Structure 1
Amino acid sequence: MSIRVGYFPHNNSLFVLRHRGILERLLPEVEWVDLRALPHAERVDPKVGLPSLHSDQLFTEDGYDFIGTGFTPPVTGLANGRDLVYVGISGPRVENGRLVAAADSGIETVADLKGKRVGIAHGSWQTTLLLFALEKAGLSWSDIEPVDTDVRDGGHALLAGDLDAWVGAYPGLTAVEAATELRTLVDTESLFSHPSLWFTRRDFAVDNRAALEAIIAALQESDAWIAANPRAAAQYFVDDIVARGGSADLDAWEAALRGRPFGVNAITEEFLDEQQHAADLLVANGLLPGTVQVREAVLPWIGDVVEATKTSVAV
Structure 2
Amino acid sequence: MTVRVGYFPHNNSLFVLRHTGILERRLPDIEWVDLRELPSKPSVDPVNALPTLHSDWLFDDGGYDVIGTGFTPPITGLAHGRDVVYIGISGPRVENGRLVVKADSGIESAADLRGKRVGIAHGSWQTTLLLFALDRVGLTWSDIVPVDTDVREGGAELVGGAIDAWVGAYPGLTEIEADTELRTLVETEGLFSHPSLWFTRRDFAENNPEQLRAIIEALQESDERIERNPRAAAQYFVDDVERRGGTASLDAWEAALRGRPFGINPVTDEFLDEQQRAADLLLSNGLLARPIQVRDAVVPWIGEFVGTARSTV
Same fold (TM over 0.5): yes
**Secondary structure of 2:132's partner?**
helix
Shift of 1:42: 3.2
What pairs up with 1:1-315 in 2 under 5 angstroms? 1-42=1-42, 49-313=49-313
Change (3 A) 1:201 1:247: same
179-188 or 48-57, which moves further after superposition? 48-57
Shift of 1:10: 0.4
Deviations 1:20-50 (A, max 9, x none): 0000001111111111111112389999610
Change (3 A) 1:109 1:238: same
**Secondary structure of 1:25's partner?**
helix
CA contact (8 A) 2:43 2:49 kept: no
Shift of 1:87: 0.3
**Secondary structure of 1:61's partner?**
coil
CA contact (8 A) 1:111 1:137 kept: yes
CA distance in 2, matches of 1:139, 1:122: 18
Shift of 1:139: 0.2
CA distance in 2, matches of 1:274, 1:229: 32
CA contact (8 A) 1:158 1:165 kept: yes
Q: Which runs of 5+ in 1 are unaligned?
A: none
Change (3 A) 1:47 1:131: farther
Shift of 1:81: 0.2
Change (3 A) 1:33 1:268: same
Q: TM-score, normalised by structure 1?
A: 0.98
CA distance in 2, matches of 1:45, 1:138: 27
Aligned residues: 313
28-37 or 163-172, which moves further after superposition? 28-37
Deviations 1:230-262 (A, max 9, x none): 000000000000010000000000000000000
Change (3 A) 1:43 1:298: closer
CA contact (8 A) 1:71 1:197 kept: yes
Please give the root-mean-square deviation of Cα atoms over the aligned residues, in Å. Answer: 1.4
CA contact (8 A) 2:266 2:303 kept: yes
**Secondary structure of 1:311's partner?**
helix
Deviations 1:90-129 (A, max 9, x none): 0000100000000000001000000000000000000000
**Secondary structure of 2:312's partner?**
coil
Shift of 1:303: 0.6
CA contact (8 A) 2:87 2:266 kept: yes
Give the partner amino acid of 2:37: A
Q: TM-score, normalised by structure 2?
A: 0.98
Change (3 A) 1:43 1:55: closer
Give the partner amino acid of 1:90: S
CA distance in 2, matches of 1:256, 1:225: 16
Runs of 4+ in 1 over 2 A off after TM superposition: 41-48
CA distance in 2, matches of 1:211, 1:66: 10
CA contact (8 A) 1:47 1:141 kept: no
CA contact (8 A) 1:47 1:142 kept: no
Shift of 1:185: 0.2
Q: Which runs of 5+ in 2 are unaligned?
A: none
Shift of 1:137: 0.7
Deviations 1:258-287 (A, max 9, x none): 000000000000000000000000000000
CA contact (8 A) 1:103 1:183 kept: yes
